[in-house]
Amino acid sequence: MREVILAKTAGFCFGVKRAVDLTYEQVRKAKDEGKKVYTLGHIIHNESVVSDLEKQGVTTIVDDSMIDEIFSGMSDEERADCVVVTRSHGIGKTVSDRLHAFKLAVVDATCPFVKKIHDIVEEESGEGKTVVIVGDATHPEVKGIIDWCKGPYFVISSAEEAQSLPIDRTKEFALVSQTTFHTKKYQDIVDFFHANDYNVKMYKTICNATEERQREARSLASGVDTMIVIGGKHSSNSRKLYEICAECCEHTCFIQTLVDLDFTVIESAKRVGITAGASTPNHIIKEVQNSMAEESFEELLKQSEESESKIKPGSVVEGKVISVKPDEITVDIQYKADGIITRQEYSNTPNLDLTTVVNEGDPITVKVIKTNDGEGQVLLSYKRVAAEKSYAELEEAFENATVLKAPVTKVVEGGLTVTINEVNVFIPASLVSDTYEKNLEKFMDQEVEFVITEFNPKKRRIIGNRKQLIVAEKAELAKKLFENIKVGDVVEGKVKNVTPFGAFIDLGGADGLLHISEMSWGRIDDPKSVVKVGDTVKTFIKEINGEKIALSLKFEDNNPWVTAAEKYAIGTEVTGKVARMTTFGAFVELEPGVDALLHVSQISNEHVEKPEDVFTIGQEITAKVVDLKLDEKKISLSIKALLPEAAEEETEAEE
């Protein structure tokens, strides 16, 4: 015969029962008065209770930050029909003030033992003392306690952490504990402070029910073959019971309900102990206790084994979505435990809000990753099923060189990651474009086209190639371009690059070189003074040599030498600027593209050694044209011809 021993303290504690009773009382009133009931967070850490409340119309405000989002859009009349029940773990002062600012009807279901801690830390911190809180910093109860502190505080969970606290041991500080904290671990911390002469004012805030429950669990677990701890997976006190029992009994199970129980664990047990966390309803405890009877055990074991054969790591099963949170999906897979899909196992998209892509009641195909995630639930994956299907499609695309399109989901120094049907494809930086891409960040969240040039799913190596498509596209454009252009054609293109010797112009399929000497009829020192990258320019094709295209901006109708015979006839007085100088004279720019030589002998009636002795670059001078050779594009100037002595000599010569 199997002996089943149920702990006397198992189940709802005073604070939890009070919170649950208050909530159900509000639900009953709301139905009569036509009001809407909200709970701030899960009223207790038990999914069975939370689920039942939600079925009765209670809305759970999952995160405190949602208070403004929910109530700010309501009118005063609408808010008057709302009732908010605070969780048994308590809330912070900031949250409390915010609820009352909306003039909401607030029912405080905070456990009296927790409320006492709020009062302690508010008073002690108000007197300027540092507060040290022993507990789990992520637990709602501890978060609430923190918000009632008016000054410095620290959160620790072990004596080791206490050793590194940056506090002055001579100054008095207050020490409190989460109500459900491990009593032995708390005592270890207290002993450390006392042993090292810290000036600590210690408050005993672990509730009596918790202490008694932990003592009984330790004693019971020490005398049984198998120990069963029943509680919510997020319940701090239940997890601590499990830790205590596991220290005393090798075969300790942590379950939420009967369906989580692995009956093979207790098959040969003669003595079975059962305890439950403070948030566990009595009917769940009774259900587990009754299942231990010999007559029902064989049938339950048989059902369990049949279910086990279907649900195992690697198996693909059909399920139905029970609930959806931003980062987690709960799925009914017809098993003793529900399945969980984390955000990471649903999609490769970072920070995806699952509530935007999945709805309650949706059918879903998933793969089993683990049959127990450590909290009694089955870990599932949606993206791995999608990925396996996608691998077959990608392999076909690889074999057929199919062009694919997908968004860039990650940018790294070595290239881009694109995600297609939950499979990551890597495009190395060298295959992103046919030219060097300095800034890969510009591709983030952009859809890009590519082909797969390497496919090795076993090594998780799938390589995409965007460069191949760009090269092929440009080759086709180049072919069409060369079929339709000839020397002399006027073409328009965009400046792609500017160098000291000229600019490369993208003509839509091939680049043409606009050499610095072809940018103007005049002299150009820097191509950047004429064009810049991105400019659209109109040029004409001067030469085609294989795949090389030479361009020019020196259109014939702008050729200054066309009118030179009239403008610069011999004897004409002209004005220009000194452009450059040599030992034999100075070149004077009369207009862009037309330079004339002022020989050193024609500068003055007096002897001039070199032009630099008289002129500076850019200086404006006036001279007379004394020679013009249009076929050679040469003009000779003389300043002497304008001087008085030169004029007299000309007159005498004429006489």
Q: Residue 609 catalytic?
A: no
Give the whole-angstrom CA distance, residue 490 versus residue 492: 7
Q: Output the 3-class SS for 488-532.
A: CCEEEEEEEEEECCEEEEECCCCEEEEEHHHCCCCCCCCHHHCCC
Give the whole-angstrom CA distance, residue 61 versus residue 41: 5
Return the H-helix or E-strand segment holding 202.
strand 200-202
Whether residue 141 contacts residue 236, with contact meaning beta carbons closer than 8 Å, is answered with yes
Q: Output the 3-class SS for 264-332.
A: HHCCCCCEEEEEECCCCCHHHHHHHHHHCCHHHHHHHHHHHHHHHHHCCCCCEEEEEEEEEECCEEEEE
Helix pair angle (183-195, 208-221), 10° resolution = 110
Q: Between the CA of residue 265 and those of 226, 256, 301, what are the distances in Å?
A: 8, 16, 10
Give the whole-angstrom CA distance, residue 96 versus residue 117: 16
DSSP 546-586: TTEEEEE---GGG-GGGGHHHHT-TT-EEEEEEEEEETTEE
Side chain identity at 381, as an amino acid letter?
Answer: S
Length of the chain, please?
A: 655
Instruction: Pick the catalytic residue from 141, 216, 345, 518.
Output: 141
Whether residue 648 contacts residue 641, with contact meaning beta carbons closer than 8 Å, is answered with no
Whether residue 235 contacts residue 281, with contact meaning beta carbons closer than 8 Å, is answered with no
Q: Output the 3-class SS for 403-461.
A: CEEEEEEEEECCEEEEEECCEEEEEEHHHCCCCCCCCHHHHCCCEEEEEEEEEEHHHCE
Whether residue 48 contacts residue 281, with contact meaning beta carbons closer than 8 Å, is answered with yes
CA proximity to 417, closest of 373, 448, 457? 448
Whether residue 213 contacts residue 262, with contact meaning beta carbons closer than 8 Å, is answered with no
Q: Is the dihedral of CA 595, 600, 606, 612 positive or negative?
A: positive
Structure tokens at 515: 């050499």
Return the H-helix or E-strand segment holding 117.
helix 112-126
Whether residue 179 contacts residue 135, with contact meaning beta carbons closer than 8 Å, is answered with no
Whether residue 22 contacts residue 109, with contact meaning beta carbons closer than 8 Å, is answered with yes
Where do we find the tokens 């295959």? 431
First to last CA, the chain: 154
Helix pair angle (294-310, 282-291), 10° resolution = 100
Give the whole-angstrom CA distance, residue 485 versus residue 123: 88
Residues ≥6 apart with Cβ < 8 Å to 361: 320, 321
Structure tokens at 32: 């009569």
Whether residue 511 contacts residue 519, with contact meaning beta carbons closer than 8 Å, is answered with no
- Active-site residue numbers? 141
